[in-house]
């Protein structure tokens, strides 16, 4: 029997704030009503703040992040185009696979899982590409499978250093609205996200921001596309409508979640994610377990992938957590299956929730045969949270 809260610590879907969930619990509305645009036009405006773009165009496709990837590729590239990609986890792997299936000529750099986008290798490839064969460069900003955040500004620098004209595609599905992301500042041409991670909604929207340069490319691109055609969307979105039935409930939820993010302040949301993530990492470190991320510079503030000792099956940790303690941890994907479990720490989250995740992870780890001193991870995180809060609490008490 399950009583009390169900604890969701997968890196997506994330927990939905109660006001957002309530905002979606409404009767169906008319998506061709004269005032429908009052809702949607403001969503586009506020999403631009989340991507940090002024000149970009935002699209909301019914679908998920993967659909937005497909939209990004098929609207801006041509069959057989050469593209530069790197693979260091399940999500960057899936992006490579999609690009291949769609008929692109993919130059893929395989990197150790736990490292990130190989910026120096990219720089070399781009410098060598004197006649501009590479049409696009892809970066998975936050590899959710390994808990690795990559240096997207570094990729932009590598492009600019040799005045390379390739489009910069960024998968920001598990970073945007949680980890610093600056579309205009970093010169990102296509930034992809979904509704069910940092935006704290159910799955169902693939959200994409497109630079002016990429919009220009979309006017001559010859890849096949139909459902995801930018031009159809742009035409209808201009007045707040859609070429096909949009998920209106999700829009109402998005309205509320954008309000929450903008009320807290995007910078504060990002700082909170860092503070909470660092507590989780200190807890994991106190257990003596390593992260998959091979260097602190790669640490992700939205998900930690934890390597368990060889004597422990990480699938057991996850099973015990789920069956006995009402908690969902992320599983080890592909080559990390059995070796890794993940704690997602993004979205609607606070210190208490992170301490709960660490506490139940200790119980689950121990039951799966791991040697863990009860309370060690929790105490390390508490110490970090206490130090982080002391300044604010001190001011309040004066
Ligand atoms: C979740 C995720 C995806 C997949 O998005 P869907 O919404 O499941 O299609 C892609 N990339 C990254 C980095 C993700 O975390």
Distance 196 CA to ligand 1 centre (A): 9
By CB atoms closer than 10 A (0-12, 13-18, 19+), residue 319 is middle
CA dist 157 → 86, 153, 247 (Å): 17, 6, 38
In whole angstroms, what is the distance from residue 117 CA to residue 82 CA?
A: 18
According to the model, what pLDDT value does residue 21 have? Answer: 98
Determine the 3-state secondary structure of 149 from DSSP: strand
Taking residue 57's Cβ as centre, other Cβ atoms within 10 Å add up to 19
Q: In this predicted structure, what is the pLDDT of residue 395?
A: 60
Query: Is the CB of residue 255 less than 8 Å from the CB of residue 43?
Result: yes
For residues 107 and 5, give the distance between their C-alpha atoms in angstroms, rounded to a whole number: 46
Domains of the chain with CATH codes: 7-13+265-397 (3.90.1150.10), 18-263 (3.40.640.10)
CA of 92 to the centre of ligand 1 (A): 10
10-residue stretch averages of pLDDT, the chain, 398 residues long: 90 98 96 95 98 98 98 98 98 98 98 98 98 98 98 98 98 98 98 98 98 98 98 98 97 98 98 98 98 98 98 98 97 96 98 98 98 98 95 66
Q: Whose CA is nearest to atom 12 of ligand 1?
A: 173
**What is the DSSP track for 26-84?**
S----TTSTTHHHHHHHHHHHHHHHHT-SS-EEEEEES-HHHHHHHHHHHH--TT-EEE
Q: Which atom of ligand 1 is nearest to the CA of 67?
A: 9
Asked whether the beta carbons of 36 and 356 are under 8 A apart, the reply is no
Residue 322 has, within 13 A of its CA and on its CB side, a CA count of 12
Whole-angstrom distance, CA of residue 110 vs CA of residue 61: 31
The whole-angstrom separation of Cα 334 and Cα 338 is 9
Which residue among 11, 63, 66, 71 is best mutated to probe the pocket of ligand 1, counting the most ligand atoms within 8 A of its Cβ? Answer: 66
pLDDT at position 392 is 78
Residue 325's pLDDT is: 97
Residue 319's pLDDT is 98
Supply φ then ψ for residue 49, to 5 degrees. Answer: -65, -35
**Nearest-angstrom CA–CA distance, 83 and 70:** 14
Q: Is 328 helix (H, G, I), strand (E, B) or coil?
A: strand
- The residue whose C-alpha atom lies closest to atom 1 belonging to ligand 1 is 173
CA distance 154 to 152: 5
Residue nearest to atom 2 of ligand 1 (CA): 173
Q: What is the pLDDT of residue 396?
A: 56
Pocket of ligand 1, candidates 10, 60, 73, 91: which has the most ligand atoms within 8 Å of its Cβ, to mutate? 91
Measured CA to CA in angstroms, residue 8 lies from 19, 86, 356 at distances of: 18, 30, 11
Cα→Cα distances 334→11, 98, 151, 290, Å: 16, 17, 24, 19
Reading the block at residue 136, the tokens are 């696009």
Nearest by Cα to 8 from 252, 360, 382: 360
Rounded to whole angstroms, the Cα distance separating 15 from 394 reads 30
- Return the SS3 of 2: coil
Question: Which atom number of ligand 1 is nearest to the Cα of residue 197?
Answer: 1
The Cα 323–Cα 316 span in angstroms is 10
Ligand 1 atom closest to the CA of 66, numbered from 1: 9
């Amino acid at each position: 029997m399950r009583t009390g809260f169900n604890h969701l610590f997968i890196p997506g879907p994330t927990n939905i704030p109660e006001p957002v969930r309530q905002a979606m619990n409404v009767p169906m509305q008319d998506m061709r009503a004269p005032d429908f645009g009052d809702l949607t036009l403001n969503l586009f405006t506020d999403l631009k703040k989340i991507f940090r773009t002024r000149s970009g165009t935002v699209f909301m496709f019914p679908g998920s992040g993967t659909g937005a990837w497909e939209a990004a590729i098929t609207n801006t590239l041509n069959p057989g185009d050469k593209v530069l990609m790197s693979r260091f986890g399940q999500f960057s792997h899936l992006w490579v696979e999609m690009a291949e299936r769609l008929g692109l000529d993919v130059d893929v750099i395989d990197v150790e899982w736990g490292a990130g986008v190989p910026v120096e290798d990219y720089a070399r490839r781009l410098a060598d590409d004197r006649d501009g064969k590479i049409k696009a460069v892809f970066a998975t900003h936050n590899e959710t499978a390994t808990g690795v955040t990559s240096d997207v500004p570094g990729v932009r620098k590598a492009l600019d250093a040799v005045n390379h004209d390739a489009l910069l595609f960024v998968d920001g599905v598990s970073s945007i609205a949680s980890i610093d992301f600056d579309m205009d500042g970093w010169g990102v041409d296509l930034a992809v996200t979904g509704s069910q991670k940092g935006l704290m909604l159910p799955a169902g929207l693939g959200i994409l921001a497109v630079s002016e340069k990429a919009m220009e490319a979309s006017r001559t691109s010859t890849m096949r596309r139909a459902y995801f055609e930018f031009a159809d969307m742009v035409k209808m979105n201009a007045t707040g409508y859609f070429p096909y039935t949009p998920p209106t409930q999700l829009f109402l939820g998005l309205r509320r979640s954008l309000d929450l993010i903008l009320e807290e302040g995007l910078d504060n949301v990002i700082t909170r994610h860092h503070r909470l993530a660092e507590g989780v990492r200190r807890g994991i470190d106190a257990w003596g377990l390593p992260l998959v991320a091979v260097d602190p510079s790669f640490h992700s503030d939205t998900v930690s992938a934890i390597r368990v000792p060889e004597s422990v099956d990480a699938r057991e940790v996850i099973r015990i957590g789920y069956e006995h303690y009402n908690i969902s941890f992320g599983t080890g994907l592909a080559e990390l299956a059995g070796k890794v479990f993940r704690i997602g720490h993004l979205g609607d989250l606070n210190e208490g929730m992170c301490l709960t995740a660490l506490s139940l992870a200790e119980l689950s780890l121990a039951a799966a045969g791991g040697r863990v001193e009860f309370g060690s991870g929790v105490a390390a995180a508490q110490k970090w949270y206490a130090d982080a809060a002391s300044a604010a609490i001190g001011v309040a008490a004066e």
